[in-house]
Amino acid sequence: MSAARMQVLSSRNVRLLSCGRNEVFAGRSGAQRPGGDPRTRSLTCPPLSSSSSPGRALSSLSATRRGLPKEKMSENGIMSRAKVLTIDTMNPTVKKVEYAVRGPIVQRAVELERELSEGMKKPFAEVIKANIGDAHAMGQQPITFFRQVLALCSYPELLSDSTFPEDAKSRACRILQSCGGNSMGSYSASQGIDSVRQDVARYIERRDGGVACDPDNIYLTTGASDGIVTMLKLLVCGEGTTRTGVMIPIPQYPLYSAALAELGAVQINYFLNEEKCWSLDITELQRAVNEARQYCNPRALCIINPGNPTGQVQSRQCIEDVIRFAAKERLFLMADEVYQDNVYAEGCQFHSFKKVLFEMGPEYAETVELASFHSTSKCYMGECGFRGGYMEIINMDDEVKDQLTKLLSVRLCPPVPGQALMDLVVNPPQPGEPSYGSFIKERTATLSALAEKAKLTEQVLNTVQGISCNPVQGAMYSFPRITIPEKAVKEATEKGQQPDMFYCMKMLEETGICLVPGSGFGQKDGTYHFRMTILPPTDKLKILLNKVKEFHQRFTQQYS
Amino acid sequence: MSAARMQVLSSRNVRLLSCGRNEVFAGRSGAQRPGGDPRTRSLTCPPLSSSSSPGRALSSLSATRRGLPKEKMSENGIMSRAKVLTIDTMNPTVKKVEYAVRGPIVQRAVELERELSEGMKKPFAEVIKANIGDAHAMGQQPITFFRQVLALCSYPELLSDSTFPEDAKSRACRILQSCGGNSMGSYSASQGIDSVRQDVARYIERRDGGVACDPDNIYLTTGASDGIVTMLKLLVCGEGTTRTGVMIPIPQYPLYSAALAELGAVQINYFLNEEKCWSLDITELQRAVNEARQYCNPRALCIINPGNPTGQVQSRQCIEDVIRFAAKERLFLMADEVYQDNVYAEGCQFHSFKKVLFEMGPEYAETVELASFHSTSKCYMGECGFRGGYMEIINMDDEVKDQLTKLLSVRLCPPVPGQALMDLVVNPPQPGEPSYGSFIKERTATLSALAEKAKLTEQVLNTVQGISCNPVQGAMYSFPRITIPEKAVKEATEKGQQPDMFYCMKMLEETGICLVPGSGFGQKDGTYHFRMTILPPTDKLKILLNKVKEFHQRFTQQYS
């Protein structure tokens, strides 16, 4: 055996040795870390010269060189250095980030799936992930036309394939002609492909009954999340009581709280009115902003409409009131409108903030700063994996716009397949084109099924004593309130768990159903909820709802 | 005309009115901004209650309500509020970001392209963008096999099309089986698709001659940039002299400086040795870190190998020395290895940091923290638009790894088509498979052409008096040193421009060639360079190089 090969094997063995949890090097065991649990200590980073390590479990060895921390000799005689990057010395704002939609309960669901696949016995045959709005994973079919065009763009040799419809080919040609070298493999402009932004602008004009839209105000993004985080990033400044505050609904989609934590901005909660179907009260906005002015500088107001996780659809009147409030209080408006096609309830209709703003006349249309976000991930498309999206920016200061474009240029461009898909969403087959019929049929089928499932979910959940569910007017989720018996609350508290986390974790272990506890979205103290998607196929949804019902009854009985 | 329609038109007109540069509302004109040019003032955000606006060009009107800034009446009688978000009140760290690769010179190039297309007369017929490593935009063809699989994944109905080779179909099936609902439209796991991470791990093991790779250490990313920024984000903490410092080469790829500026980390420059073919000197690393310890906490060392913009390929010895240095100085190593297949010069070879680290034995293999980055954008693929990439993390603390996964989960997942493409790059056709022959042929053709163009570029540039170009050993760029006459330096300085920006801007206006000035990457004081990609097709590259030569001679004559 050659020396080099031996060396490789030797280091490989050592590597494997260090993979276990009980290894001699700094592992996951908090108990061995010097200075106790960092989560209960302040987060300031120790200066490099602090080399004392009281309580270190391993013997210290050799000199402290130029003030660097000591090295230590492990049991197998290998010199080990303290890690550069530890939980104590990492970015403290990152540690504050939480994202319940993919939190511990989902990690446990993945584990359970693995255990099932390894033949372990469980009280269920399948894990059903109703935690996330992931339509295709739940069996929703993609729109044929969209996928045909994407295939043509990926492999343009297919343009000569006679089985592809002409309108798919012409869309593909238009997209490819806008790409450098006619390839989706080229970078696009930082703001996104010109022709796609033009198509987005025309879509918005049609949607908003003729209100003008300038393609220069359109920025293509990597999903809506990317746009939202970028806008928040621009808005954050100041320190202490002048630090930027951002108003977000409670319950909220936890991207907002996560981004604000990471940016070190102040989260200002305004509570949606569960008693009035999760609607937004202006008096509550006023209370929230008044209180917040005492400790920060409120600069932005985030709205999610249709609501995630609430499923509420805002009335035109409400949107007008919000705009007036934002103008009066000088708040930058951020309208998360990714569920704009997901409106099911009778009497409800989607109104874009942009349209309402412009219909309120120049006093508002000229002054209120608005960013509106859309995505390929929701509505009837459900194409989450492509990470397509756009934002429209209204009344943004020109210099800030330059800064925005500069900032976006650092990450070069949003994924081009996602841009192509966004183009198809805003420029779908038109009457008279060969794919029009099948497109309408597929879209209608998906949206009708969602409407049916929204109703079904509300109905079944409301038959359960101790569960109370507002109508799912839109979006893709129900967010029912659940009664958790005192005894269960006590047991959860003793375990250091939120009561609804305790509830959902128990449901997962007993039924295989993966929901997200309300605490991950925020809720009024003393109330408990969970978020459940309405996405599973109707048959499966019925089974799921029945399992939830049975679990809730069992749980209530057990703890009462 | 209905009232609603009139309202729409009215606000539309007003909107248009406000789009111009001379509008009555806060525009781009710095002179009218209160308090002078913010770029020369400190960046602290004014508290909300500061309502005084000396020097405001517009008449103030109405009362200051609850300490909010005044409103103003414009000439057409519309009430205008001061904007919430202005250059003075936006995130100050974002303002510090610079990214030359898509900076002012590229914006001017886009303008020139538009002017040409509008029929304006120019001294050239075409703008040639040699500013960015955008292979397909320069005519490089995608790998057929990759695009076939992507088409199959996009539109799985093609799986029954007999014109697609079987190996493409089996790859597509494997990818789709790993996607929720067998659709690329589903979210993947935050860390990336499991099977893709397994393929990446096996690729790394093959590449590194058997050094083990654990798929748990692989994170799929949105291009390499995403991974690099994420890792830097984890590393940043501390204030003042304990603030995280990150060592980057000069010249560097400006993603690094941009990310550090945005994160508010300290940029520690170490200079590459132009006289020794842009190689890295350990003594220079030592100088840089010693000096930096006086004002910050150096925690990471970034290496770009093969070098961007230098084209240098590091020797095995150099990499060993760097690893020893990082261990000694306790620095987290970040190895940007996106050009790992782009090595052209005889005697040069790519050595991964991971392999060298593990061959140095357990003292290093067990302790040195390393993140290595790769991408679908470079090498022979050039698939920039798909934003595919991965990072491998070695010796990262387990708790930090949990935090990393949590942080990544907020943005849900990297684009799935990019993940699929990454999978194909690490798992291309194998001998005996139907696509093997054409794959090897296409890959070889692309890499041979690049090698030829690397040589050609160096040769032609070195025939020009006043231009001196190191061998382009690897990557996709030449970074020649240029002599700029004193008179030109003076004229540039008077214009407030960097001399090489002045030079490149002039070249763009006179020849249509778009290069990036060396000042955008960093260079020793008093030296000037430009970065030029070697990507144009050979014929075009020859024309381009001749134009550069002629321009340089003319420029030198004009200013001497």
- Amino acid, single-letter form, for residue A520: G
Query: How far A473 CA lies from chain B's nearest CA (Å)?
Result: 24
CATH superfamily of A100-138+444-559: Aspartate Aminotransferase, domain 1 (3.90.1150.10)
Query: How far A555 CA lies from chain B's nearest CA (Å)?
Result: 30
Q: Hey, is A81 helix, strand or coil? A: strand
Is a pLDDT exceeding 90 seen at residue A1? no
Q: Are the beta carbons of A384 and B25 separated by less than 8 Å?
A: no
Cβ-based neighbours of B178, under 8 Å, separated by 6 or more: B193, B194, B195, B196
Q: B457 is written with which tokens?
A: 């570029």
Question: Mean of the pLDDT values across residues A62-80?
Answer: 44
Nearest CB to B136 within list A183, A233, A413: A183
Compute the distance between CA of residue B216 and CA of residue B223 in angstroms, rounded to an integer.
19
Q: Hey, is A16 helix, strand or coil? A: helix
Q: A381 is written with which tokens?
A: 């498309």
Residue pair A416/A193 in contact by the 8 Å Cβ criterion: yes
H or E segment and range at residue A166: helix A166-177
Chain A CB contacts of B410 below 8 Å: 97, 99, 225, 255, 258-259, 262
Query: How far B27 CA lies from chain A's nearest CA (Å)?
Result: 6
Cβ-based neighbours of A183, under 8 Å, separated by 6 or more: A176, B136, B137, B142, B385
pLDDT at residue number B69:
43
Q: B235 is written with which tokens?
A: 């590393």
pLDDT at residue number A450:
97
Q: Are the beta carbons of B237 and A92 separated by less than 8 Å?
A: yes
- Amino acid, single-letter form, for residue B350: F
Burial zone of B139 (CB within 10 Å; 0-12 exposed, 13-18 middle, 19+ buried): middle
Q: How confident is the model at residue B98 (pLDDT cuts 50, 70, 90)?
A: confident
Residue pair A220/A422 in contact by the 8 Å Cβ criterion: yes
Could you tell me which residues are beta bridge partners of residue B72?
Answer: B60, B80
Nearest CB to A26 within list B15, B233, B397: B397
Question: Mean of the pLDDT values across residues B497-514?
Answer: 96
pLDDT at residue number A508:
97
Nearest CB to B151 within list A47, A155, A293: A155
Compute the distance between CA of residue A514 and CA of residue A504 in angstroms, rounded to an integer.
7
Checking DSSP bridges between strand A528-533 and strand A477-478, what pairing results, if any? antiparallel
CA closest to B107 among chain A residues: A189
Q: What is the DSSP letter of B245?
A: E
ipTM, two decimals, is 0.85
- The residue of A90, A221, A334, A338 whose CB has the most chain B CBs within 10 angstroms, and thus the best one to mutate to test that interface, is A90
**Domains B142-186 and B191-426 fall in the same CATH topology:** no
User: Of all residues in chain B, what percent carry a pLDDT higher than 70?
Assistant: 86
Lowest-pLDDT choice from A34-48, B288-302, B520-534: A34-48
Tens of pLDDT, residues B167-186: 999 999 999 999 999 999 99
Comparison of pLDDT for A102 and B509, the residue scoring more:
B509
Compute the distance between CA of residue A358 and CA of residue B410 in angstroms, rounded to an integer.
33
Q: Which CATH number fits domain B142-186: 1.10.287.1970, 3.30.450.20, 3.40.50.620, 3.40.1190.10?
A: 1.10.287.1970
Compute the distance between CA of residue B304 and CA of residue B473 in angstroms, rounded to an integer.
13
Tens of pLDDT, residues A306-359: 999 999 999 999 999 999 999 999 999 999 999 999 999 999 999 999 999 999
Query: How far A326 CA lies from chain B's nearest CA (Å)?
Result: 10
- The residue of B90, B357, B381 whose CB has the most chain A CBs within 10 angstroms, and thus the best one to mutate to test that interface, is B90
Could you tell me which residues are beta bridge partners of residue A528?
Answer: A482
CATH superfamily of B98-138+447-558: Aspartate Aminotransferase, domain 1 (3.90.1150.10)
Q: B363 is written with which tokens?
A: 């003292």
pLDDT at residue number A18:
30
Is a pLDDT exceeding 90 seen at residue B501? yes
Chain B CB contacts of A383 below 8 Å: 185
Chain B CB contacts of A392 below 8 Å: none
pLDDT at residue number A15:
31
Q: Hey, is B248 helix, strand or coil? A: strand
Compute the distance between CA of residue A219 and CA of residue A222 in angstroms, rounded to an integer.
10
Lowest-pLDDT choice from A533-542, B41-50, B252-261, B288-297: B41-50
DSSP string over A314-350 = --HHHHHHHHHHHHHHT-EEEEE-TTTT-B-STT---
pLDDT at residue number A80:
59
CB neighbours (10 Å) of residue A463?
10
Q: Are the beta carbons of B181 and A19 separated by less than 8 Å?
A: no
Could you tell me which residues are beta bridge partners of residue A129?
Answer: A514
Q: How far, CA to CA in Å, does A537 sit from each of A454, A544, A548?
A: 12, 10, 16
Q: Are the beta carbons of A45 and B238 separated by less than 8 Å?
A: yes
Compute the distance between CA of residue B208 and CA of residue B394 in angstroms, rounded to an integer.
14
Q: A137 is written with which tokens?
A: 């994973």
- For chain A, the average pLDDT equals 87
Residue pair B371/B391 in contact by the 8 Å Cβ criterion: yes
Q: What is the DSSP letter of A371?
A: E
- Amino acid, single-letter form, for residue B339: Y
pLDDT at residue number A79:
54
Chain A CB contacts of B329 below 8 Å: 68
Compute the distance between CA of residue A555 and CA of residue B251 in angstroms, rounded to an integer.
64
CA closest to B14 among chain A residues: A362
Nearest CB to B359 within list A4, A25, A95: A4
Compute the distance between CA of residue A525 and CA of residue A519 in angstroms, rounded to an integer.
10
Q: Are the beta carbons of A7 and B186 separated by less than 8 Å?
A: no
Is a pLDDT exceeding 60 seen at residue A10? no
Q: Are the beta carbons of A99 and B358 separated by less than 8 Å?
A: no
Chain A CB contacts of B403 below 8 Å: 87, 90, 94-95
Chain A CB contacts of B136 below 8 Å: 179-181, 183, 185-186
- At residue B241's C-alpha, the angle toward residues B238 and B245, to 5°, is 70
**Number of Cβ pairs < 8 A linking chain A and chain B:** 419
Residue pair B185/A150 in contact by the 8 Å Cβ criterion: no
Q: Are the beta carbons of B188 and A81 separated by less than 8 Å?
A: no
Residue pair B184/A386 in contact by the 8 Å Cβ criterion: yes
pLDDT at residue number B2:
41
pLDDT at residue number A104:
85
Cβ-based neighbours of A234, under 8 Å, separated by 6 or more: A400, A403, A404, A407, B85, B90, B91, B94
Burial zone of A177 (CB within 10 Å; 0-12 exposed, 13-18 middle, 19+ buried): exposed
Phi-psi region of B440 (alpha: psi -120 to 50; beta: other; left: phi over 0): alpha
On the CB side of B487, how many CA atoms lie within 13 Å of its CA?
A: 6
Question: Mean of the pLDDT values across residues A225-251?
Answer: 96
Q: What is the DSSP letter of A273?
A: B
Q: What is the DSSP letter of B495?
A: T
pLDDT at residue number B350:
98
Q: Are the beta carbons of A47 and B400 separated by less than 8 Å?
A: no
- The residue of A366, A379, A402, A535 whose CB has the most chain B CBs within 10 angstroms, and thus the best one to mutate to test that interface, is A366
DSSP string over B7-21 = HHHHHHHHHHHTTST
Q: How confident is the model at residue A170 (pLDDT cuts 50, 70, 90)?
A: very high
pLDDT at residue number A446:
97
- The residue of A32, A37, A154 whose CB has the most chain B CBs within 10 angstroms, and thus the best one to mutate to test that interface, is A154
Q: What ranges in B279-431 are assigned the alpha helix state H?
A: 282-292, 316-329, 353-359, 362-365, 398-410, 416-426
The CATH-assigned architecture of domain A187-426 is: 3-Layer(aba) Sandwich (3.40)
Chain A CB contacts of B235 below 8 Å: 85, 90-91
Nearest CB to A99 within list B359, B363, B410: B410
pLDDT at residue number A103:
78
- For chain B, the average pLDDT equals 87
Nearest CB to A416 within list B235, B385, B403: B385
Compute the distance between CA of residue B214 and CA of residue B202 in angstroms, rounded to an integer.
9
Residue pair A9/A28 in contact by the 8 Å Cβ criterion: no
Question: Mean of the pLDDT values across residues A80-101?
Answer: 86
Nearest CB to B209 within list A8, A15, A297: A8
Domain B191-426 bears CATH identifier 3.40.640.10 = yes
Tens of pLDDT, residues A309-321: 999 999 999 999 9
Residue pair A14/B362 in contact by the 8 Å Cβ criterion: yes
Compute the distance between CA of residue B462 and CA of residue B445 in angstroms, rounded to an integer.
26
Question: Mean of the pLDDT values across residues B17-46?
Answer: 30
What residues does each domain of chain B span? Answer: 57-90, 98-138+447-558, 142-186, 191-426
Tens of pLDDT, residues A494-510: 999 999 999 999 999 99
Cβ-based neighbours of B397, under 8 Å, separated by 6 or more: A26, A83, A85, A86, A87
H or E segment and range at residue B301: strand B297-304
Q: Are the beta carbons of A186 and B384 separated by less than 8 Å?
A: yes
Question: Mean of the pLDDT values across residues B400-405?
Answer: 94
Helices A538-559, A486-494: inter-axial angle, 10-degree rounding = 90
Nearest CB to A47 within list B44, B297, B359: B297
Cα radius of gyration rounded to whole Å, chain A: 27
